[in-house]
Amino acid sequence: MEAYMASETETGFLKSYNVRGNIVRVGDTVVMRGEDEDDTHVALVRFFQADPNEAVKVETRRYYRPEDTVAGRKPFHGSRELFLTDHYDNQKADTILEKCVVFTFTNYTMLKDVRPNYYFSRFEYQIETGWFSPDAVEVFCYIFIFFNIYRSMQFVNGLLLLYHPVCLNMTIDEAKQLADNYACDGCRSLDGKRPHDEGSASTDL
């Protein structure tokens, strides 16, 4: 692999690095190989640096998958969702496998073509504290489960609210059969009906 030495050569800092014909620059996001060859992760490139022997290292800021956090993966997490963390790595630049793109959640939902190396992020994660920021997002299921772009959503009848069928222990087929006729407990209360009316969906989660 060829390292591109710019005017920073004397200090050893590089602006870019050639990975199998693709130029990776500072600020790009990349897929990297871990100590285990089967273990990969996504990271943000902070800088490249070459030693006197021209061996190049890269410092990165890692993205975690939901299952990498103390909270674990939740139903509202998308299959391509990542969290930007305060975990910094310094490893050999030749462990970069390929470039990828991490979109904001809003921009990701607007994509017409989602490629294999596309991801999105809407939270940052602090490793030591286990805290996420922001602690809320704008769009969520009516029972306050964050929106999962990969899960079908249906309208609650009588309310301008959406719900994930899985959050109400319903299959997608059951939700489609109900169509716009699903009424939540709140709707039934407004209509003077009991929550245990026949045909109601369970909300005991």
Q: What is the three-class DSSP state of 9?
A: helix
Identify the residue with better confidence: 184 or 18: 18
Residues 48-82: tens digit of each pLDDT: 999 888 789 999 999 999 999 999 998 778 889 99
The pLDDT of residue 101: 98
The answer to whether the beta carbons of residues 78 and 150 sit under 8 Å apart is yes
Alpha-carbon distance of 59 to 88, in angstroms, equals 7
Helix (H) or strand (E) holding 89: strand 81-92
Question: Could you write out the DSSP letters of every residue in 13-75?
Answer: EESEEEETTEEEETT-EEEEE-SSTT-EEEEEEEEEEE-TT--EEEEEEEEE-GGGSSS---T
Residue 160 has pLDDT above 80, yes or no: no
3-state secondary structure 133-179: ECCCCCCECCCCCECCCCCCCEECCCCCCEECHHHHCCCHHHHHHHH
Helix (H) or strand (E) holding 3: strand 3-4
Tokens encoding 127: 């490793």
Residues 129-149: tens digit of each pLDDT: 999 998 665 544 443 444 445
Domains of the chain: 3-133 (2.30.30.490), 139-198 (3.30.40.10)
